[in-house]
């Protein structure tokens, strides 16, 4: 579990960063469905059922408890507006973490992504990870800007790695040493 912290976003709203809790279930459904409906550049395209999300959250809480996963959600005015994670790999790659982040429309461009990334990097160091890895769609300019700002560099790409609505998009891999 990460240590909760508060900061003021660029638009003046207060944001709490903390680990997810069981009570966040309904907010998380709303959050993930909003990203799926929007068709933003992420792998998830389908809405979730309450049962699916409850199963997902149960597994996630167990993994956080065991130290297999580092997570941070952002809460604004009592609502979850962002979710993120670093999943630790195992065995000979246990020094590597896979990072993912998503922020709800209406809460982007105000510094939440930057603060979440700082927290994930810090917590990954505490967890003795050495390398963070992530993938983004080549079309996702805001994601690219955030990752470059946070010290990630491109390590490769899969040409046409994504097929979205019949159109092929490169999938870019970025890495950051800790």
- Secondary structure E strands in the chain: 5-8, 14-18, 69-76, 79-88, 96-103, 131-137, 153-164, 167-177
Least gap, CB of 43 to ligand COA (angstroms): 8
Q: Which residues bind ligand COA (CB under 6 A)?
A: 40-42, 101-103, 108-114, 136, 140-143, 145-146, 149
C-beta of 13 vs 65, nearer to ligand COA: 13
CB of 9 vs ligand COA, minimal distance in Å: 8
Three-class DSSP category at 19: coil
Of 49 and 105, CB closest to ligand COA: 105
Query: In degrees, to the nearest 5, what angle opens at C-alpha 106 toward C-alphas 72 and 171?
Result: 65
Chain centroid to CA 173: 15
State which residue, 2 or 112, has the beta carbon closest to ligand COA. Answer: 112
CB of 74 to ligand COA, least distance (A): 9
């Amino acid at each position: 579990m990460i240590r909760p912290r508060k900061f003021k976003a660029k638009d003046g709203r207060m944001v709490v960063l903390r680990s997810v809790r069981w009570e966040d279930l309904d907010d998380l459904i709303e959050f993930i469905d909003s990203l799926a409906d929007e068709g933003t550049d992420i792998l998830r395209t389908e809405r979730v059922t309450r049962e699916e999300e409850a199963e997902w959250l149960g597994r996630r809480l167990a993994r956080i408890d065991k130290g297999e996963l580092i997570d941070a959600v952002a809460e604004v005015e009592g609502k979850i507006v962002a979710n993120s994670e670093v999943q630790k790999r195992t065995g000979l790659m246990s020094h590597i973490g896979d990072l993912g982040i998503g922020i709800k429309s209406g809460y982007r461009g105000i510094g939440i992504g930057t603060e979440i990334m700082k927290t994930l990097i810090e917590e990954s160091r505490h967890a003795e990870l050495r390398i963070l890895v992530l993938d983004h769609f080549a079309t996702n300019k805001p994601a690219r800007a955030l990752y470059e700002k946070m010290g990630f560099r491109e390590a490769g790409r899969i040409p046409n790695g994504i097929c979205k609505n019949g159109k092929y998009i490169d999938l870019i891999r970025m890495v950051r040493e800790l």
